[in-house]
Structure 1
């Protein structure tokens, strides 16, 4: 499975999926050759539900606001019990997103980065780094209104099917308290290390249930 680029307006988790983190926001032409496998995902979703069209599109510079807002929703659970003023919270989250974005660009320069769409509505983001010996899910997150509907689960399963076919492990990082941890555990991910607030998790095709 690879990702197919789409035009700007083309139809290109709770556990499903609130977010995990370990990007540049513009996919270059060189990446597009590695993205043809998004066809498999899109065909799968058409078969699952003709009324629900899940697609993936290239990220553009004017998507920054959407991506920042999406990022903020994935951190909302952390701020539930804080008393930070809203302006301070917004500024903090903006700086955190910018730092994350720069980190992704430096560490995963060849990653495929896409916005997830439901019909023509932007609902999340998916960043994946494919290498000969592994697949790294850098980012899989959905807006709260679209969590718990099986969308994140379907995307994750499709990625695992791809990794199973290529006989490569899938790795990711997630915050310890993130509800998405349960999603990954249910799909066979195990914790291989922990550092600070984050868990490093791994899935192996030979352990697939």
Structure 2
């Protein structure tokens, strides 16, 4: 990922919040501006708190379809963010990305962790792939963990 990808990641971020903002009686322009500000704040937060993070744009057929941000930590690989455009969701792409990450984690003898919002529909995917909730006392998020089978 480079700074040139920020317009794409901003649009991707907005696509992950559309349902959440739908019931609000705000004008569409206000929603757009709010989402742009939230994306900028999220990007700054990631840059500050996950120094050295690997930021990848996921592509399919040469077109950007998602993002995957990883942070290497002692004993673990933290998924800082994983998201796909709406058209790419539910097609097995996210699961394939996670399986590749699990293979890397096995080789490096690491666990994989991710913070997941309590209302995120991807929770079923994480549970199906073997993630378990490590800490459910984090406000709107739970900390999930995947470990390779012994």
Give the 5 Å matches for 1:117-156. 117-156=59-98
User: CA separation in 2, counterparts of 1:80 and 1:148?
Assistant: 21
User: CA separation in 2, counterparts of 1:81 and 1:75?
Assistant: 11
Whose strand proportion is higher, 1 or 2? 2
Q: What's the counterpart of residue 202 of structure 1?
A: 145
Give the 5 Å matches for 1:62-81. 62-81=4-23
Q: Tell me which of 35, 42, 46 is aligned to 1:93.
A: 35
User: CA separation in 2, counterparts of 1:136 and 1:111?
Assistant: 9
Cα shift at 1:99: 0.9
Cα shift at 1:198: 1.1
Q: What's the counterpart of residue 110 of structure 1?
A: 52
Q: Which has the higher contact order (CA 8 A, sep 6+)?
A: 1
TM score, norm. by length of structure 1: 0.68
Q: What's the counterpart of residue 12 of structure 1?
A: none
Q: Secondary structure at the match of 1:188?
A: coil
Give the CA RMSD over aligned residues: 1.4
**Alignment gaps of 5+ in structure 2:** none
**Alignment gaps of 5+ in structure 1:** 1-58
